Amino acid sequence: MSLRTVSLRRRVTLSAIGVLGVVLIGVVLLVDALFAAQSKRDVDTALLEKARVAQQLVKQRVRGAELANRLEGRGVEVWLVMPDGTGFGNKPDEEVANEVSRQLIDGSKITVYAETAVITAAQTRLRRLLLLAGIGALAVTIGAMLLVVRRALAPLDAMTTLARSIARGNRGYRLNPSRADNELGRTAAAFDDMLDSLEGSEERTKRFVADAAHELRTPIAGVQAVAEALMQTASAEERERLNLLLVRESRRAGRLVDDLLALARIEAGLELHRERVDLLALAEAEVARTRLLAPDFDIVAEGEPAFVSGDPQRLAQVLANLADNARQATGPSGRVRLRVSRVGSFALLVVTDNGPGVPPEDRERIFDRLVRLDEARDQRSGGSGLGLPIARGIARAHGGELSCIDPDQAATATATPDMDLAPPAPVAGPEAEAEAEKQGQGGVPPTAAAAPQVGGPPGAGAGRQGGELGEVGGGGRRGDSVGAAFEVRIPLAE
């Protein structure tokens, strides 16, 4: 979009002067025409009156030159022709505005007329007066318009001054319009809203960069410490242990960087490869993946098929993030339920666990970047506090929403007659353990992943990180009570 930047002050002033000039010209032409017509009528009336007076004077025996002299004056001329052909007065020529001729009772003929120069002189005086008045009106209008436009555009000058002040680093200032129901008020209000949004985004970016730098400091420091220790040790056993630590810390830093990139991609606009997807099938695939990672963990998928139009890899990542978040919150003896249902025009996925839960005041905050409610557990698990923001971003990219809901509401939604309808599948032996280790490093079962994901596959977003989300506590309460509950709403496929 290219905005035309012609001077608004000049445009308004010239437009007003142009309109006034056209109006003045029209008024002058109209007044001139009306004056000419009225002058002609007045002359006709005066001439007729002179002719009537002439008849009266003749009755009073006024004759000849005396009669002509009495009738002449005030722009009226007389030509009197006696019965014997004698003429008195001024004989009219061709340049006569109007004339009236009458036969008098004594047999003489009188012609009264007005010269054109009389009316022309009056019109000239009028036009000169109108011209001077028009020039004066234009001069006054120009001066008044400059003052009025300057006052009218003062709010725009204030916006310019404020914008330049903010560009120099002064934050927090606003226009605060007294009224927002007119053009300048709406512009000023929109300007303030833009400043609120920009400064809020700037503040979030600064905080995020500072938090990310703080988070990266620990794994980078760990990598540095291990590398220095490797240079000083000669023991093969110790070197092997340090190599494992080096790999763990480097993976931790890599996961954080991957998640930062994932969030950036989501905010820039996530590209989705949509197809018809059954959320229940994705939930069952996530159960299989989790049991491969933790064979003894109690996790169940239940409900009814619910088909949505979405990217199966992205949706699988949401499920993986939520399931791993719940697994890390509850511990090895925890219980997690994934319940799929259809509610109106939405497919509903509710993930519940029997962990310590999320305090009501933190149910929205946990979706902020790098928020972790249990720092000690997250340091052990390697979580970065980015999983939930990523999961919510993916849900919203599908036209849905991810939220942390009240546990009592979730307990009603997920209650079933048999909570053990899908017991854990036994996984044993070295091959299974190797497969679990592979899953812990980012792999997912074939039913859950077949293409790269934002920030890595589902395991990279959550399962691989071992609870990197905005996790919700450290201990765990057991039993059938619901601790934390997350609800995903995605529009049903047509």
User: What CATH number does residue 394 fall under?
Assistant: 3.30.565.10
Strand-pair partners of 340: 303, 349
Query: Which has more confidence, 448 or 21?
Result: 21
Query: Which has more confidence, 7 or 446?
Result: 7
Q: How far apart are CA 119 and CA 161, in angstroms?
A: 61
Strand-pair partners of 346: 343, 491
Within-domain flag for 460: yes
For residues 148 and 279, state if they share a domain: no
For residues 145 and 279, state if they share a domain: no
pLDDT at 350: 95
Answer with the one of 152, 185, 212 that is the final residue of a domain. Answer: 152
Within-domain flag for 260: no
Q: Per the confidence metrics, is the pTM higher than 0.85?
A: no
Q: How far apart are CA 285 and CA 292, in angstroms?
A: 11
Exposure string (b/e) for 175-203, b if CB count within 10 Å is 16 or more? Answer: bebeeeeeebeebbbebbeebeeeeeeee
> For the chain, what percent of residues have pLDDT higher than 90?
17
Within-domain flag for 436: yes
pLDDT at 1: 58
What does residue 373 show for φ and ψ, rounded to 5 degrees?
-80, -20
The 10s digit of each residue's pLDDT in 166-200 is 878 777 788 788 877 887 788 888 888 888 888 88
Q: Which among 27-31, 76-80, 169-173, 259-263 has the top mean pLDDT?
A: 27-31
Q: Which is nearest to 302 in space by CA: 402, 401, 418, 411?
A: 418
Within-domain flag for 234: no
Which residue range(s) make up the domain with 52? 8-152
CA distances to 312, 331, 367, 449 from 286, in Å: 12, 18, 22, 10
Q: Which is nearest to 272 in space by CA: 395, 177, 165?
A: 395
Within-domain flag for 237: no
Q: DSSP letters along 78-112, please? A: EEEE-TTS-EEE----S-EEEEEEEE-TTS-EEEE
Answer with the one of 89, 117, 152 that is the final residue of a domain. Answer: 152
For residues 279 and 147, state if they share a domain: no
Answer with the one of 122, 152, 182 that is the final residue of a domain. Answer: 152
Within-domain flag for 50: yes
For residues 335 and 483, state if they share a domain: yes
Within-domain flag for 337: yes
Within-domain flag for 404: yes
- Please determine, for residue 303, whether its predicted confidence score (pLDDT) is greater than 90: yes
The 10s digit of each residue's pLDDT in 194-236 is 888 888 878 877 777 776 777 677 778 878 888 888 888 768 8
Q: How far apart are CA 461 and CA 390, in angstroms?
A: 8
Q: How many domains does the chain have?
A: 2
For residues 289 and 141, state if they share a domain: no
pLDDT at 244: 86
What CATH number has the domain bearing residue 120? 3.30.450
